Structure formats: structure tokens, C-alpha cells
Amino acid sequence: MKVPYEELIQTAIKAPSGHNTQPWKFRVEENAIIIYPYNERTLPVVDADNHALFISLGCALENLVIAAQHFGFKTNTTCYTGQAGNESIVVQLTP
């Protein structure tokens, strides 16, 4: 089954975000989509600790997972939060 990467990402980016900054980047790999925080779109005055940024990433993730299920894929999500600036969310997709 071919993964509809573009449709999944288009659904993910419709997620709400603080001041509509859409603070995320996506990278497609074989059977996976990786979501990264887009640190150039932070809001240091109103979101100094990036709390709202990470909530926005969670909303994009949820949209992506729901869309994947709609297309018949199972998802396995792993969050990497170790070193600041290297955070990512990996969504593995299996038919």
C-alpha cells in the first residue's frame, strides 16, 4: 500500500498553533514522517518556554495520526526530547 505522504502532511498542518505560527517542519522517510519544531517561528515574548510550541506539535501529530488511520495505516509514535534543539517526533506508518 502506497503511503499518501502529501495528504497526511496537509492534514497535519491544519492543526491549531499559537498565533497561527505553524511552528513545525516535516521530513518524509520510507514509511515514516518526522515532525520537528521550527525554532525560527518561536514566540519568545508570549511563549518564553516554548510550551505553546510543543502543544502545537502535539496537535499536528494528532491530526497526522487520525489521517493515517483514515487511510488504513497503523501508527507507532516515538518522541525524542533529549537535547534542546534536537527534538523530534517520528511517526512510523504500517499498512
pLDDT in tens, the chain (95 residues): 899 999 999 999 999 998 999 999 999 999 999 999 998 888 889 889 888 999 999 999 999 999 999 999 999 999 998 777 789 999 999 99
User: What's the rounded Cα separation, in Å, for the pair 29 and 49?
Assistant: 30
CATH among 3.40.109.10, 3.30.70.1900, 3.40.50.970, 3.10.20.30 for 5-94: 3.40.109.10
Q: What are phi and psi of 37, to 5 degrees?
A: -70, 140
Of 8, 7, 2, the closest CA to residue 62 belongs to: 8
Give the model's pLDDT for residue 14: 97
Give the model's pLDDT for residue 22: 95
Residue 79, classed as helix, strand or coil, is: strand
Domain range annotation of the chain:
5-94
Element (H, E) at 32: strand 32-37
